[in-house]
Structure 1
Amino acid sequence: MTDIFPAALDGAVIPGGCNDCNAEQHLRQDQPGIWAVGIHHDDTCPTWQRIQAGRAGIVPDTFKGR
């Protein structure tokens, strides 16, 4: 199986991912060939606040603010 991301990107932090704040995208390889990409928003980001409100406080770790 060919990986979508090179293994060297495991743990990479890439700026961007949200038009409303200085978000960062965090890449993590959970298992070979299985990757997670989480966007970390600023705590004051209106998009992040809407996400939190819509989930009623149930927020996966990969989406928690910095």
Structure 2
Amino acid sequence: MSVIPAELDGAVIPGGCADCNAEQHFRQDEPGMWFIGIAHDDWCPTWRRIQAQRAGLPTTFLS
């Protein structure tokens, strides 16, 4: 039995971020393997922070 109902495959649900009008996207890639992504607005401060962290060096290399 899956914890995520099969009916959510392909669903787009509003929400997921307190700073913008994000949407949650659900996709079952194979039985039992789910992709759940959050699509933020381009102007979202949370999304900009995530992008900046991904562009920077890993924290283990920072002094």
TM over 0.5: yes
SS at 2:38's partner residue? strand
Larger Rg over CA atoms:
2
Which residue number corresponds to residue 61 of structure 1?
A: none
Task: Give me the CA root mean square deviation.
Answer: 1.2
Normalization by structure 2: what TM-score?
0.83
Cα distance, 1:15 vs structure 2: 0.6
1:28 maps to 27
Instruction: Report the AA paired with residue 18 of structure 1.
Output: C
What is the percent sequence identity of the aligned residues?
73
What whole-Å deviation, never above 9, does each CA across 1:37-66 have from its counterpart, x for those lacking one? Answer: 100000000000000000018xxxxxxxxx
Structure 1: state its 5+ residue gaps: 58-66
Residue pairs, 1:44-55, within 5 angstroms: 44-55=43-54
TM-score (norm 1): 0.79
Hey, what's the Cα distance between the residues in 2 that align with 1:35 and 1:6? 11
Aligned partner of 1:9 in structure 2 is 8
Give 1:31 deviation, angstroms.
0.8
